[in-house]
Chain A
Amino acid sequence: MRFWLLPLILLGEIALFTALSGQSFSPASGATSYFRSYFADLLCQSAPVLLLAFGMTVILMTAGIDLSAGSMVALVACAMASFPAGPGFWWTAVPAGLALALLLGATNGALIAWLDVPPIIATLGTMILYRGLCFVVMGDLEKSPFLNVPAYEWLGQPGGAALLLALTFALGGCWLKRSRWLREILMLGGNPVAARYAGIPASRRIVQVYTLAGGLAFLAALAFTARNSSVSASSLTGLELQVIVAVVLGGTRVQGGAGSLLGSFYGVLIIAVMDEGLRGAAQWGARNLPFKLSHLEYILLGLLLVVGVWLNTRGRKPADNRPPG
């Protein structure tokens, strides 16, 4: 993992897109307020993805994967949206959403740990199942009780988003970094047989990891619904791939056994900045390019992923970057 690489890409992107968007800072004081609102927006916008990326990083460390993340957030949001609005929402819908999210995550974990289904298959199945349940709960409706819940909107504003992110990344990350739990997870991902011989309760750890991811999906659902204020059964389709791309870009190995929470944080921001920047530079693109600039996003995303991962694995010993398949 090269620590300077990701922040450097991020800074380069911000500089490039700020230049392309045609923003001018004639009084230098304008720059401060511009960047303040820019980063506040960025943080709110990407809070759900950041929260999911935290869980996905830990899952990838165990050599697992979670394709159901997007469906899980959507299902939790749909379930919460079915409750009546009002002050009581905090005491009914929110705990129910948390319980549901933990249950969904634990279901993934149980399938993987106790039934021995490979993670990619188990979560592919639950991805379809959870998305199907969204339609069972919501039908074709789009609901938005979140607008009429006191103080709910605050969660989607910079203060709330910062609080959620600080809770997970700063507090959770610092605790995890020193914890025995994370060491056991990494060992489990690096060599499951050795981990079992070493007396690590493998099944229990796996269930814990996926339940943790469920809890984070609940927080992501809070952040998403607070900002977008309405949800439908097909919300957040394809979110899981976005999260996986970001995490992998951040230097976490899909083969497990290594990973970086900070890297995932940068990975999400790099993609979010690109997304936002291309939108801001649309006018420049319309003048100078024969195609829509927004269509370039897919290409850049793919290139970024390959180049980022390639640069990250290049310095390793040959045994490490042999393609496992």
Chain B
Amino acid sequence: MTHGRFSPSLRRRLLFLLIGNVVLLLAIAVTMKQGGSFADVLTRCGPDVAPVVLAGIGMTGIICTGAIDLSIASIIVVAGTVFGILARRQMPPLLCFAACVGTALLLSITNGLLIRALRLPAIIITLAGLALYRGVALVLADVAIPGFGGSIDLPRDEYHSPGKQFATPLLLLALGGALIWEWFAVTPRRWLALGSSEEACRLAGLNPHAIRRSAFAVGGLFLGLAALLYVTQIQFIEPARLALGFELQVIGAVILGGTNIFGGEGGYGGTALGALFLYFTGQWMTYAGISPYFQEAITGAIIIGVIGLDCGLHRRRKRMEELA
């Protein structure tokens, strides 16, 4: 069975998200009260959604190989803490930004290497990383900042420029580059191959471990960008509380975007649309005056609804394939 670059289910999901986003934007425009400006919604959208989209792009590659990274929030915390420590010591801003991205890249590569070295499932290694990296960030802050009281504040404006001024251009640049690269390069196809069947990959002369490592390395690069935009948007970096639950938000966007959680299917475009869909849903609920207490429940119901419906519709075909 051939179906081009995207499988029918992925194509259907992309179409749904595309239409859904347009409908949500229209709904926001309609429900907007007097004095609210629609252009404002669009300009705010870039910085707000950038960390989730960028981290989601990194996660998409990792999930495509059949692995998962639960430690991304903690990696962002370590990167943010390193950034905060350097910024507090008045290092030049560019060095701080590079250190932030570099830390995330390094930790993500470490995850990939550990999976191979210890021969444990990715979910276990990164579950351990989820706890471990946050602890490392706290200890780092304790040791490097005298009188550390739980939060690092960044007083000067030049340390905030990526998140506050250049978030949208950076996001568009990274997203555009990622989409073009995904379309033309070989590596993302190899990730999908690995996710479909590690055994077939090996028999075809590809090295599964190298492919998985490359997914974690590319993922780390995008995660570093996400971390940079995340921590330069906020005034205080609190290692104990920063980005709590961010990994689930990102995984939610990735799977809503049509990437198969078991690997072998998915793409960057879907992830970006999925993240936008969740963001616009939240915005629309705010504009429509829905009580904030209901918003989380509705978000959860939407995730379950979209994916449950999709899975339910394919159930029969999947069963037949399984038993064939």
Do A and B share a complex? yes
Contact B293 A135 (CB under 8 A): yes
Q: Say if the beta carbon of A193 comes within 8 Å of chain B.
A: yes
Q: Say if the beta carbon of A305 comes within 8 Å of chain B.
A: yes
The contact string, 1 if C-beta is below 8 Å from chain A, for chain B 85-128, is 00000000000000000000000000000111011111111011
Q: Say if the beta carbon of A132 comes within 8 Å of chain B.
A: yes
Q: A residues 75-125 with Cβ under 8 Å of B?
A: 111, 114-118, 120-122, 124-125
Contact B307 A125 (CB under 8 A): yes
Contact A115 B311 (CB under 8 A): yes
Return chain B residues, CB-CB under 8 Å to A295. Answer: 135, 138-139, 142
Q: Say if the beta carbon of A166 comes within 8 Å of chain B.
A: no
Return chain A residues, CB-CB under 8 Å to B132. Answer: 298-299, 301-303
Given contacts A115-B312, A254-B124, A324-B121, contact A128 B293 (CB under 8 A): no
Contact A291 B139 (CB under 8 A): yes
**Which of A126, A309, A325 is close to B68, meaning CB atoms less than 8 Å apart?**
A325
Please, how many angstroms separate the alpha-carbon atoms of A299 and B135 in the complex? 5
Cβ of B287 to closest chain A Cβ, rounded Å: 19
Contact A136 B293 (CB under 8 A): yes
Contact A127 B300 (CB under 8 A): yes
Stretch at the interface among B24-32, B46-54, B255-263: B255-263
Q: Say if the beta carbon of A133 comes within 8 Å of chain B.
A: yes
Contact A135 B296 (CB under 8 A): yes
Contact A323 B304 (CB under 8 A): no
* B261 nearest in chain A by CB position: A118
Q: B residues 279-324 with Cβ under 8 Å of A?
A: 292-301, 303-304, 307-309, 311-312, 314-315, 318, 322-323
Please, how many angstroms separate the alpha-carbon atoms of A238 and B130 in the complex? 12
Contact-residue bracket for chain B = 35 or more
Contact B311 A124 (CB under 8 A): no
Return chain B residues, CB-CB under 8 Å to A300. Answer: 135
Given contacts A116-B311, A118-B261, contact A325 B65 (CB under 8 A): yes
Contact B312 A305 (CB under 8 A): no
Please, how many angstroms separate the alpha-carbon atoms of A115 and B67 in the complex? 23
Q: Say if the beta carbon of B134 comes within 8 Å of chain A.
A: yes
Q: Say if the beta carbon of A180 comes within 8 Å of chain B.
A: no
Q: Say if the beta carbon of B131 comes within 8 Å of chain A.
A: yes
**Which of B114, B142, B299 is close to A132, meaning CB atoms less than 8 Å apart?**
B299
Q: A residues 268-325 with Cβ under 8 Å of B?
A: 290-292, 295-303, 305-306, 309-310, 313, 321-325
Q: Say if the beta carbon of A174 comes within 8 Å of chain B.
A: no
Contact B300 A117 (CB under 8 A): no
Please, how many angstroms separate the alpha-carbon atoms of A301 and B297 in the complex? 31
Contact-residue bracket for chain A = 35 or more
**Which of B65, B66, B298, B300 is close to A126, meaning CB atoms less than 8 Å apart?**
B300
Q: Say if the beta carbon of B143 comes within 8 Å of chain A.
A: yes
Contact A136 B303 (CB under 8 A): no
The contact string, 1 if C-beta is below 8 Å from chain B, for chain A 40-78, is 000000000000000000000000000100000000000
Contact B119 A128 (CB under 8 A): no
Q: Say if the beta carbon of B172 comes within 8 Å of chain A.
A: no
Please, how many angstroms separate the alpha-carbon atoms of A121 and B251 in the complex? 9
Cβ of B85 to closest chain A Cβ, rounded Å: 13
Return chain B residues, CB-CB under 8 Å to A299. Answer: 131-132, 135-136, 139
Given contacts A132-B294, A310-B118, contact A301 B131 (CB under 8 A): yes
Please, how many angstroms separate the alpha-carbon atoms of A266 and B121 in the complex? 22
Return chain B residues, CB-CB under 8 Å to A290. Answer: 142-143
Given contacts A120-B261, A131-B296, A132-B297, contact A323 B115 (CB under 8 A): yes
Q: Knowing that A125-B301, A255-B121, A324-B198 are A-B contacts, what are 6 other residue pairs whose CB atoms are under 8 Å apart, sorted by A's residue number?
A: A139-B293, A193-B322, A298-B134, A305-B131, A306-B124, A306-B128
Residues of chain A touching chain B, judged by Cβ–Cβ distance below 8 Å, are 67, 111, 114-118, 120-122, 124-133, 135-136, 139, 193, 196, 237-238, 241, 244-245, 248, 254-255, 290-292, 295-303, 305-306, 309-310, 313, 321-325
What are 5 A-B interface contacts by the 8 Å CB criterion?
A: A125-B301, A131-B297, A132-B293, A245-B127, A323-B119
